[in-house]
């Protein structure tokens, strides 16, 4: 249900997974160096009482790998995610080398002086660094992973959850001109995934089978739907909110 947010890099430029697959189809196996960095967990929440959390980096490959961790403050403006360096969350170590089959603990520390009257949001950017020794192989394709892990400092205000379904009574949804917009007036982030449109006759049209996106506290985000939807007055949008076990109908203004 939860999609890990990562991007694959080739020659330090982001490329789509579909593009990678197209390239790999024409490469001998000897020329392919598989990415082997795994990260867990893929979402981290600090309660008001939590002072530290753990992030584990695992090397599933057959050679040593190097990894770098960067801490970024995460905000949203004009329906865009914005990242900036911060000292309000501390990670250690920031750079590490991991042997094959081994894992490395990265400690995440919340400074004691940080007040949490309003939910704070961060991203941990975990990069698999290039192996300097592999630079001699100019003909090989080296796929490096980058993970973007959301981290939240929660407040004492709890989200309303009824029978495993998160309340969205303080989230406003609107659809217009092929875009779905969500405004979060609650006291906690929301994450949308598995977005579908159900027509009046019950026909289900999948729009986003995985992650749609996050809406942080007090922010508005918009997403362009991947295909045109023939709306009718009795149609409805459904999505999974946060880690709910099933989808719910979104109260969308049309």
In the predicted model, is pLDDT for residue 5 greater than 70?
no
**Predicted pLDDT of residue 79:** 93
- 17 and 125, same domain (yes or no): yes
pLDDT higher at 56 or 27:
56
- Model confidence over 196-238: pLDDT tens digits? 999 988 989 999 999 999 999 999 999 999 877 777 778 999 9
**C-alpha span between 62 and 238 (Å, rounded):** 43
- Model confidence over 153-185: pLDDT tens digits? 999 998 899 999 999 999 999 998 889 999 999
Q: How much of the chain, in percent, has pLDDT values that exceed 90? A: 67
Mean pLDDT in residue range 15-42 = 53
- 148 and 167, same domain (yes or no): no
In the predicted model, is pLDDT for residue 19 greater than 70?
no
**Predicted pLDDT of residue 134:** 55
Q: Which domain holds residue 242?
A: 161-253
- The CATH number of the domain holding residue 82 is 2.60.40.10
Of the residues 135, 153, 171, the one at which a domain ends: 153
- Model confidence over 89-110: pLDDT tens digits? 999 999 999 999 999 999 999 9
**Predicted pLDDT of residue 2:** 31
**Predicted pLDDT of residue 110:** 96
- Inter-residue contact 108 to 53 (CB < 8 Å): yes
- What are the φ/ψ torsions at residue 162 (nearest 5 degrees)? -120, 115
Beta strands in 79-186 (DSSP E): 80-85, 90-92, 95-98, 103-109, 120-129, 141-142, 144-153, 161-162, 165-166, 171-176, 179-184
**Predicted pLDDT of residue 62:** 92
**Predicted pLDDT of residue 125:** 97
- Model confidence over 49-82: pLDDT tens digits? 999 999 999 999 999 999 999 999 999 999 999 9
Q: Do the bridges between strand 44-46 and strand 144-153 make them parallel or antiparallel, or are there none, so unpaired? A: parallel
Does residue 118 lie in a domain region? yes
Q: Quick one: CA torsion of 159, 82, 59, 110, rounded to 10 degrees?
A: -60
**Predicted pLDDT of residue 35:** 63
- 136 and 32, same domain (yes or no): yes
Report the sign of the C-alpha dihedral through residues 218, 124, 43, 116, in that order.
negative
- Inter-residue contact 151 to 44 (CB < 8 Å): yes
**C-alpha span between 132 and 139 (Å, rounded):** 15
Of the residues 153, 170, 194, the one at which a domain ends: 153
As for how many domains the chain has, the answer is: 2
**Predicted pLDDT of residue 142:** 66
Of the residues 103, 119, 153, the one at which a domain ends: 153
- 32 pLDDT band, cuts 50/70/90, is very low
- 177 and 243, same domain (yes or no): yes
**C-alpha span between 164 and 212 (Å, rounded):** 20
| pTM for the full predicted model | 0.83
């Amino acid at each position: 249900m939860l999609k890990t947010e990562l991007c694959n890099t080739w020659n330090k430029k982001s490329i789509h997974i579909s593009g990678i697959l197209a390239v790999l189809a024409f490469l001998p196996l000897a020329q392919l160096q598989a990415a082997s960095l795994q990260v867990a967990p893929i979402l981290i929440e600090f309660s008001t009482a939590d002072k530290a959390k753990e992030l584990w980096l695992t090397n599933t490959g057959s050679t040593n790998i190097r990894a770098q961790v960067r801490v970024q403050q995460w905000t949203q403006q004009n329906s865009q995610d914005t990242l900036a360096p911060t000292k309000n969350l501390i990670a250690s170590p920031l750079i590490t080398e991991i042997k094959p089959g081994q894992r490395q603990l990265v400690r995440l520390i919340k400074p004691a002086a940080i007040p949490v009257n309003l939910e704070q949001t961060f991203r941990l950017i975990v990069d698999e660094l290039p192996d300097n020794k592999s630079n001699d192989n100019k003909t090989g394709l080296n796929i490096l992973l980058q993970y973007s892990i959301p981290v939240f400092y929660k407040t004492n205000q709890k989200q309303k959850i009824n029978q495993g379904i998160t309340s969205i009574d303080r989230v406003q949804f609107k659809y217009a001109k092929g875009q779905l917009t969500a405004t979060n007036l609650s006291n906690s982030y929301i994450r949308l995934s598995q977005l579908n449109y159900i027509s009046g006759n019950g026909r289900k049209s999948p729009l986003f089978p995985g992650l749609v996106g996050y809406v942080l506290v007090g922010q508005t985000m918009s997403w362009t739907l991947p295909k045109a939807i023939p709306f009718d007055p009795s149609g409805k949008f459904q999505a999974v909110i946060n880690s709910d076990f099933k989808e719910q109908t979104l109260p969308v203004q049309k």
